[in-house]
C-alpha cells in the first residue's frame, strides 16, 4: 500500500471557490490505528460555518473539511483489538471521548477541528475513535450519524433521560432535529415539531410528529404547545435556535421540565427568564455531542427500531462542492457525499 495515493478535498481559503481536490501519499496506520476506505461523508451545519469563515476565523490552511464518515477498514496498525480488516465502521468525531465526562468543545482531538477532517478517500483513526456501523444502514446512512444523530441521542437519552409518553418539542428540521424527532417517535414519546414550512411539517408528520406548529403563522408557538398539552406544558424541549427563542421554550415547559441547549446553532447569548426557570424548577443542560459508548448504544437502538436516517441528497465525491451548496439551502435531512 506504500505507493498508493489518497485524494481528498481541502480548503485553501474561505469560501466554496477555495475547496480543492488534491492528492497525497496514503498514510500507514500507526499503533492501534485503523486505515479506513471512506465510503460516505455527511455534512453538518458546522461545516458550512467553517467554510464561510464564520466559525473559525483563524483556521489554518490547507484544511480538510467534514467530521462524519463511514467506510471499511482496509488495514490495521499494531495492537488493534477492536476491529479487523473488512469491518464497516463509522468515525467518532470527538476521538478521545470514550465514556463518562467529556472534554470541552471544540478541542484538539476532534475531527476537522484539532485533527484533520474526513473528506477524502482514506482516513486514519485510532481504533478507540471508531464504532461498528449499524448493520441495518447503508454506508450513506451510517455517515449521517456522528454529529447530528449522536447529539440528538445524547440529549434525549443520555442526559434528559426521556421516557415513553413524554411530550418533546423539537425545533426545526435540521439534522439534529430530524434525528430527535425520529428517536422520540421510535421510543414512544410524543414529539411536537416546529418549522416555518408547512411542507416540512407535513414530512415531519410522516416521520412521527404527534403535533406540528408553523412558527411563522403561529408566532406564539409556545402558547400553542401549552394548548396541545392541556395547559400543562411540554416535558422536554430540544432548543436549537437560541436567542429570543429561549424564553418561549421555557414558557412552553411544564413544571419540572427539561431543556437541552444544542451547540453551535444557539447563538452567542440568550435572555434567560429566571423567574420562570426557578418557579417551574426547570433543568437546562448544554449538549455538545456525546461519547463513544453513547454512539454504540445509539447504533443498537437504530438497529432495534429499524430507524432510517433522512437523506436529503447524495453527491458523488468529485462533486463535493455541490453538497456544500445544497447544505446552505436548508435541506430536509442530511446531505451526503458518496465514495462508493
Q: How far apart are CA 172 and CA 235, in angstroms?
A: 18
Please list every residue from 289 through 318 that binds its own copies, using CB under 8 A. Answer: 291, 293, 297-305
* Beta carbon of residue 258, minimum distance to its own copies (angstroms, whole number): 9
* Binding segment (CB under 8 A) for its own copies, from list 3-11, 218-226, 271-279, 326-334: 271-279
256 binds its own copies (CB under 8 A): yes
Which of 17, 23, 99, 244 lies at the binding interface for its own copies (CB under 8 A)?
99
Which residue number, 145 or 246, has a Cβ lying nearer to its own copies? 246
| Contact residues for 235 (Cβ-Cβ < 8 A; gap 6+) | 162, 166, 167, 168, 253, 254, 257, 258
* 8 A C-beta contact, residue 289 and residue 260: no
Identify which of 112, 73, 76, 72 has the alpha carbon closest to the alpha carbon of residue 94. 112
Q: Is 187 in the site for its own copies (CB under 8 A)?
A: yes
Which CB atom, from 12 or from 31, has the smaller least distance to its own copies?
31
Cell numbers placing 93: 468525531
- Report if residue 108 touches its own copies, rule: CB under 8 A: no
Applying CB under 8 A, does 38 fall inside the site for its own copies?
no
Residues contacting its own copies: total by CB under 8 A = 65
Of the pair 229, 338, the CB lying nearest its own copies is at: 229
Q: Which three cell numbers stand for residue 5?
A: 495515493
Print the binding letters for residues 144-173 with its own copies: x by CB under 8 A, - otherwise. Answer: -------------x---x-xxxx-------
Is 242 near its own copies (CB under 8 A)? yes
The distance of closest approach from Cβ of residue 244 to its own copies in the complex, given in angstroms and rounded to an integer, is 12
Interacting residues with its own copies between 52 and 91 (CB under 8 A): none
| Gap between the Cα atoms of 86 and 77, Å rounded | 14
Q: What Cα–Cα distance (Å) separates residue 45 from each residue in 112, 175, 237?
A: 13, 8, 20
Q: Which of 17, 285, 316, 325 binds its own copies (CB under 8 A)?
A: 285
**Is position 98 an interface residue for its own copies (rule: CB under 8 A)?**
yes
Neighbours of 10 (CB within 10 A): 19
CA distance 98 to 221: 38
Between CA 165 and CA 169 the distance in angstroms is: 13
| Closer by beta carbon to its own copies, 51 or else 264 | 264
Q: Is 18 in the site for its own copies (CB under 8 A)?
A: no
Q: How far is CA 146 from CA 92, 158, 245, 294, 296, in A?
A: 6, 15, 26, 11, 11
When asked if residue 208 is in the footprint of its own copies (CB under 8 A), the reply is no
* Least distance in angstroms from the C-beta of 160 to its own copies: 11
Q: What angle do CA 65, 68, 73 make, to 5 degrees?
A: 110
Cα(84)–Cα(313) distance, integer angstroms: 31
3-state secondary structure of 245: helix
| Chosen residue from 131, 287, 314, 336 binding its own copies by CB under 8 A | 287
Which residue, 11 or 307, has its beta carbon nearer to its own copies?
307
Beta bridge partners, 24, equal 6
Q: Give the shortest CB-102-to-its own copies separation in angstroms.
A: 7
CB of 320 to its own copies, least distance (A): 28
Name the residues that contact its own copies, by CB under 8 A.
31, 98-106, 157, 161, 163-166, 183, 186-190, 210, 242, 246, 255-256, 261-264, 266-288, 291, 293, 297-305
Amino acid at each position: 500500500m506504500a505507493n498508493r495515493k489518497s485524494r481528498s478535498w481541502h480548503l485553501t481559503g474561505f469560501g466554496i471557490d477555495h475547496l480543492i481536490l488534491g492528492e497525497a501519499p496514503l498514510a500507514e496506520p500507526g499503533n492501534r490505528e485503523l486505515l479506513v476506505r471512506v465510503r460516505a461523508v455527511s455534512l453538518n451545519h458546522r461545516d458550512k460555518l467553517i467554510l464561510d469563515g464564520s466559525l473559525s476565523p483563524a483556521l489554518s490552511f490547507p484544511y480538510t473539511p467534514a467530521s462524519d464518515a463511514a467506510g471499511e477498514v482496509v488495514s490495521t496498525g499494531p495492537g488493534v483489538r477492536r476491529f479487523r480488516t473488512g469491518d464497516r465502521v463509522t468515525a467518532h468525531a470527538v476521538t478521545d471521548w470514550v465514556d463518562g465526562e467529556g472534554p470541552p468543545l471544540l478541542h484538539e482531538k476532534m475531527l476537522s477541528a484539532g485533527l484533520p477532517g474526513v473528506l477524502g478517500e482514506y482516513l486514519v483513526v485510532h481504533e478507540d475513535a471508531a464504532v461498528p456501523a449499524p448493520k441495518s444502514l447503508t454506508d450513506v446512512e451510517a455517515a449521517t450519524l456522528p454529529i447530528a444523530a449522536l447529539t440528538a441521542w445524547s440529549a434525549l437519552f443520555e442526559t434528559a433521560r426521556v421516557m415513553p409518553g413524554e411530550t418533546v418539542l423539537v425545533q426545526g428540521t435540521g439534522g439534529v432535529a430530524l434525528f430527535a424527532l425520529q428517536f422520540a417517535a421510535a421510543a414512544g414519546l410524543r414529539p411536537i415539531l416546529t418549522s416555518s414550512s408547512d411542507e416540512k411539517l407535513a414530512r415531519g408528520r410522516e416521520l412521527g410528529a404527534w403535533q406540528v406548529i408553523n412558527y411563522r403563522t403561529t408566532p406564539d408557538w409556545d402558547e400553542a404547545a401549552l394548548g396541545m398539552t392541556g395547559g400543562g406544558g411540554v416535558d422536554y424541549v430540544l432548543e436549537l435556535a437560541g436567542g429570543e427563542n429561549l424564553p418561549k421554550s421555557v414558557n412552553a415547559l411544564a413544571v419540572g421540565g427539561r431543556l437541552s441547549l444544542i451547540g453551535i446553532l444557539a447563538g452567542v447569548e440568550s435572555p434567560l427568564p429566571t423567574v420562570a426557570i426557578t418557579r417551574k424548577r426547570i433543568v437546562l443542560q448544554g449538549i455538545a455531542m456525546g461519547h463513544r459508548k453513547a454512539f454504540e448504544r445509539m447504533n443498537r437502538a437504530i438497529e432495534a427500531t429499524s430507524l432510517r436516517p433522512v437523506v436529503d441528497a447524495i453527491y458523488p465525491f468529485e462533486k463535493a462542492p455541490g453538497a456544500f451548496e445544497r447544505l446552505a439551502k436548508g435541506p430536509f435531512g442530511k446531505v451526503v457525499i458518496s465514495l462508493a
